[in-house]
Amino acid sequence: MIASLALWLALQASPPRVIDWPSLAPLPYRSEPQITPDMLAFVANEVVARKCPLAIGPGLTLSVDVAVLVDAQDNIRTTVPRAIQCASVEQYAAAMVAGAARGNLLPRMATSDQWYRATVTFTWPK
């Protein structure tokens, strides 16, 4: 029953079929989330293990945009990663954004659900 309800809620919060990424306002974090060395290692491992066609390594960056639906009470309803040809990294970035946003958003005047954009950037040291 709960799984069915969760699926129904997720479908109700679905983004438009085509997301106009540049038109989404940036997610209003109080403080920007920090990428740790363990996060970088996980992403690098996923790219290699899944044979994703992405360039990673010393001095390179990998960015993942994530659309975020925030309700009027500043709760995260859902996150939708932008495709980068590596599903596990896309889902990891979406989960990171959801976790980082909980209790970490600036006050908003929204009275209804609103979509935002967050970008997770993984930068490997030189």
Average pLDDT over residues 74-79: 94
pLDDT of residue 109: 87
Number of domains in the chain: 1
Average pLDDT over residues 15-32: 88
pLDDT of residue 8: 46
How confident is residue 18, by pLDDT bands cut at 50, 70 and 90?
Answer: confident
Q: Evaluate whether residue 102 is within a structural domain.
A: yes
pLDDT of residue 14: 57
Three-class DSSP category at 70: strand
Q: Evaluate whether residue 4 is within a structural domain.
A: no
Q: Evaluate whether residue 118 is within a structural domain.
A: yes
By residue range, what is the domain housing residue 111? 24-123
Residue 11 has pLDDT above 60, yes or no: no
pLDDT, the chain, mean: 89
| Category of 64 on φ-ψ map: left (φ > 0), alpha (ψ -120 to 50) or beta | beta
| pTM for the whole structure | 0.85
Q: Evaluate whether residue 69 is within a structural domain.
A: yes
**How far is it, in rounded angstroms, from Cα 28 to Cα 102?**
11
Helix (H) or strand (E) holding 18: none
> From residue 93, how far is each of 2, 30, 43, 59 by CA, in Å?
25, 18, 9, 20
